[in-house]
Chain A
C-alpha cells in the first residue's frame, strides 16, 4: 500500500536549504496572513466608534497599552514593515511573473546555478529592499515621534 507523503502548508514556511526567492516567498505568505488578520482586527477596532466616544476612547487606550506602554506602537511598526514588504515584493512578483527582467533560455553549465532567480531579479530585490527600508523608516519615525519626514 502506497502512503501519502505530502509536505502540506507547513512547507510554505520552510525556506531553509533553498534560495533567496524561497525566503521571500515564505515571508510574502507570512506577511500576507499577518496583514489579513490585522485588517479584520482593524475593522473591528474602528467599528467601536458606533458605541460612542467613551467606548471608543477606552478601546484606544486598551489596545495601545495592553502589555505596557510600548506594545501598540511596536505592533503598528511591525504591521508597517509587513505592509511595505508585501506591497513591494508584490510589485517585484508582478514584474518577474510576467517574464520581464528575466533571462532568455540559456545553456546550463555546471554547477547549474539557476539564472531566473539571480541577475536582474536580484537587482530588483535590492532596489525594492532599499525602498522598503525607506518606507518603513518614514512610517516608524511618524509612529514614535509624530514627525512627518
Chain B
C-alpha cells in the first residue's frame, strides 16, 4: 500500500518556466522579469519552485517565507495575476507552463518578491486590536458563552499575510485606507462581548479613510487563504455603526457574558 501511495512522487512531471519580477535595491534599476526553467515534481508548490531557483539557478532571488504550510502568512505574492500564498499553491494545479510571480501590490517592494508590510501593521495597530476594558485591573475572568465566541471567531483566523490589501481596489488608489485586514479585526474586537472599546476606535473607523471607503468588491474575501471573509466583517461593522446612529450601541459597565456558575457549575 505504501508503494502505491508514493507512486509518481519525486518524478519530474514537466518543466515549467517561472517568470519572477526582480528588483535589486542596491543597483536602483527599475524592476524587470527574469525567467527560470524549473523541473516540477508532483506536489511541488510555487515556494518550492522559488527555492529550487535559489538553490540551483540564481542564489540572489529573494522571497520571504517561514513555515511552508500556510500558517505564518509570510509568502504572499501575486501568482498568475491573483494573490496567493506561494506555499499553498501547487504549480501543477495552476495548469500553466508559464508561472508569473510578482510581489504583492499596493505595498512597497524591498527586494524581488519581498513586500514592505509596514502599512499593514500600522493599520492593524491603529484599530487597537486588543480587548479594551474600563477598569484598571481585571478583578476576575471575563466569561463568554460558546455562541458569543462564534459571533467573531472566524476573524481570529487572520494570519496577517496582507493578501487582502494587495487585492483591494480601494487600497490601490487610497494610501491611507485602513484596508480589509484592519477593519475586519476592528469588527472582531468590537463584536467581542468582553470589549468596551467602540468609542476609542470610532475616530479611526468612522473617518474619511475608514470603514466607509469600502465598495464591497469582495476581492479580499476571494483571495483570503484562511477563509476569513474580511468583506463580511466590514459590512457588519458598517451595520453596527449605522445602527449606532439610531440606537445607541450598548457597551457599558459589566461584561455581558454569563456568570461563572452557569458556565462551570462552580461558584
> Which residues from chain A sit less than 8 Å from chain B, CB to CB?
1-9, 11-12, 16-22, 24-26, 28, 93, 96-100, 102-110, 112-117
Contact = CB atoms under 8 A, between A and B. Distances in A.
Interface stretch (B41-49, B147-155, B255-263): B147-155
Interface string B112-151: 0001100000000000000000000000000000000011
A22 B16 CA distance: 30
B218 A102 contact: no
Interface residues of B, number: 55
B25 A2 contact: yes
A74 to B, nearest CB: 29
A99 B82 contact: no
Contact of B106 (A6, A12, A107, A108): A6
Contacts of B172: 6-9, 11-12
A120 to B, nearest CB: 12
Interface string B215-254: 1111101111111110111011011101000000000000
Contacts of B240: 99
A99 B238 contact: yes
A2 B110 contact: yes
A93 B81 CA distance: 26
A1 B27 CA distance: 10
B217 A2 contact: no
A16 B108 contact: no
Given A115-B232, A116-B229, A105 B218 contact: no
A18 B82 contact: yes
Contacts of A2: 25, 108-110, 116
A149 B115 CA distance: 57
B216 A12 contact: no
